[in-house]
Structure 1
Amino acid sequence: MINQKYFAKLQRIKELLFTTLLGEIPTIALGPNLRRLLYRNLFASMGKQVYIQHGVEFIGTSCIEIGNGVYLFKDVRLDGKGHPDNKITLGNQVAIERNVDIGCLDNTRILIGDETFIAPNVSIAGPGDIKIGKHCMIASHCGIFANNHRFSDLLSPIKDQGVTRKGIVIEDDCWLGHGVTVIDGVTIGQGSVIGAGAVVNKDIPPFSIAVGIPAKVIKSRKTQDAVYCG
């Protein structure tokens, strides 16, 4: 335990040193090339041709794996917390736009599959495991939260009653419209489309079109023409 804590402190010092010296060097000043060269010493693994724009924040980099051709734009935050059982994995060709926050708590695994695009201002958070498949599109201001506060005890503050951690699965080739919220314990089936502003609190079958609060399936892509869902 002592060795783990010592390693975590050294790793955090290393993260702060690298990101302070290199993190704010702008694109026009060869910043991405320097970060690509030197940041690979921080991560559990880092592929080829990774683009990291200035202002990206990393915490717990020993828990973060980055595939080939990943794009991380300004003010992205990846927080692995440094817990030995945590893992954030970004597959090949993943693109994460500005102000996206991806964070673990304890014993959390977050996987984002190949060629998935995450638009600005999205929040993805444990402690439950989160798996987002390949070729997904997550529109701006979505929230994917693999936790839910318990509140059954009327005599205790809600903040002291703990959380659930059932986990979330978003299968391959899904499109989540602007401002969708996905609640802990949900699976969204392959090829599904979730309309803008929906709150997904139960499983969605594959190739469904779902809208509303709470989200309800209104069509199947297998039998209906697709419609714009935002």
Structure 2
Amino acid sequence: MTSTLDCEAAAYIHPSAQLYGRIRLEEGSSIWCNAVMRSEAAHIRIGRFTNIQDFVMIHAEPNCEVEIGDYCSITHHATIHGCKLGNNVLVGVNATIFNGAVIGDNSIVGQHAFVRDGTDVPPNSIVVGSPAKVIRTQNSWIANRVNALVYHRNALAYAKGDHRAWDGPDFERWLGATLEDLQRQFEAL
């Protein structure tokens, strides 16, 4: 099988990332150090301004594509396997989400959580544990969106060779203005 990589719109793909099969990276997405994506039969789609952080493994099985929405953060060492994530989702360090699971918009999957096959997590959920369970309903739109935008800013900096984008007064000003703008957007929803 030949690879079909549609990644021209990505903000940044680290040279150590390994992408195989049918993968689409939407506008502003970023793929970080040692991330691996494989799609031998189904497809993988990474949404706009979504970041796939260091050592993340994403795999699509036959009839189990991976769809990750816009403004998501898939943090270090997470495993995403044949599942769907809505928009503005944060997946914690070392979390695993398995075949057929669906994670609703604005949710957080806690670190080390194990989301079993076929689990349906409603929007605005906080999910933790092994097996994972919803422990609280909370709209995490702002926090998750900020995290994704911070990573997008970092991706643009890394693409230019700047590895200190989170340091200094320029970053602090940008972050403050971004938080104010997102709060206004959230209140208008």
TM-score, scaled to structure 1 = 0.57
Please, which runs of 5 or more residues in structure 2 have no aligned partner? 144-189
Aligned counterpart in structure 2 of residue 142 of structure 1, from 78, 87, 102 = 78
Matched, 1:118 2:52: yes
Identify which of 13, 32, 52 aligns with 1:72.
13
Amino acid paired to 1:143 = T
1:183 pairs with 2:98: yes
- C-alpha change, 1:119 and 1:214, in structure 2 (3 Å) is same
Mark the runs of 5 or more structure 1 residues left unpaired by the alignment.
1-7, 9-59, 81-86, 147-167
* Cross-structure match for 1:25: none
Query: Would the alpha carbon gap of residues 190 and 98 (structure 1) be closer, same or farther in structure 2, given more than 3 Å must change?
Result: same
Deviations, residues 113-155 of structure 1 (Å, cap 9, x unaligned): 0000111000000112110000000000000112xxxxxxxxx
**2:31 and 2:40 mapped to 1: Cα distance?**
20
- Greater RCO (CA < 8 Å, at least 6 residues apart): 2
- Aligned pairs for 1:130-209 (under 5 A) are 130-146=66-82, 168-201=83-116, 202-209=119-126
- Which letter maps to 2:128? V
Structure 1 moving runs of 4+ over 6 Å? none
Matches within 5 A, 1:1-230: 60-61=2-3, 63-80=4-21, 87-106=22-41, 108-127=42-61, 128-146=64-82, 168-201=83-116, 202-222=119-139
SS at match of 1:191: coil
Question: Which SS does the other structure have where 2:134 is aligned?
Answer: strand
The structure with the largest strand share of the pair is 2
Distance 2:111 2:34 in 1: 19
Instruction: Give the Cα–Cα distance (whole angstroms) in 1 for the partners of residues 76 and 57 of structure 2.
Output: 9
Instruction: Measure how far apart 1:222 and its partner are.
Output: 4.4
In the alignment, the residues of structure 1 paired with residue 8 and residue 138 of structure 2 have an alpha-carbon distance, to the nearest angstrom, of 31
Tell me the number of residue pairs that the alignment of Structure 1 and Structure 2 aligns: 137
Name the Cα RMSD after superposition. Answer: 1.6
In structure 2, what is the Cα distance between the partners aligned to 1:203 and 1:117? 22
Name the amino acid aligned to 2:93: H
Residue in structure 2 matched with residue 43 of structure 1 by the alignment: none
Per-residue CA deviation, residues 180-217 of structure 1 (Å, 9 max, x unaligned), is 00010100000000110000111111010010001111
Task: Tell which structure's C-alpha radius of gyration is larger.
Answer: 1
Identity percentage of aligned residues: 31
Please list the CA deviations of residues 4-29 of structure 1 after superposition, one character each: whole Å capped at 9, or x if unmatched: xxxx7xxxxxxxxxxxxxxxxxxxxx
Contact 2:105 2:124 (C-alpha < 8 Å) held by counterparts: yes
Contact 1:70 1:90 in 2 (8 A): no
TM superposition shift of 1:69:
4.3
- Specify the alignment match of 1:55 in structure 2: none
Rounded Cα–Cα distance in structure 2 between residues aligned with 1:211 and 1:137: 16
Are 1:70 and 1:91, in contact at CA under 8 Å, matched by a contact in 2?
A: no
Mapped partners of 1:120, 1:134: distance in 2 = 19
In the TM superposition, residue 220 of structure 1 has moved relative to its aligned partner by 0.6
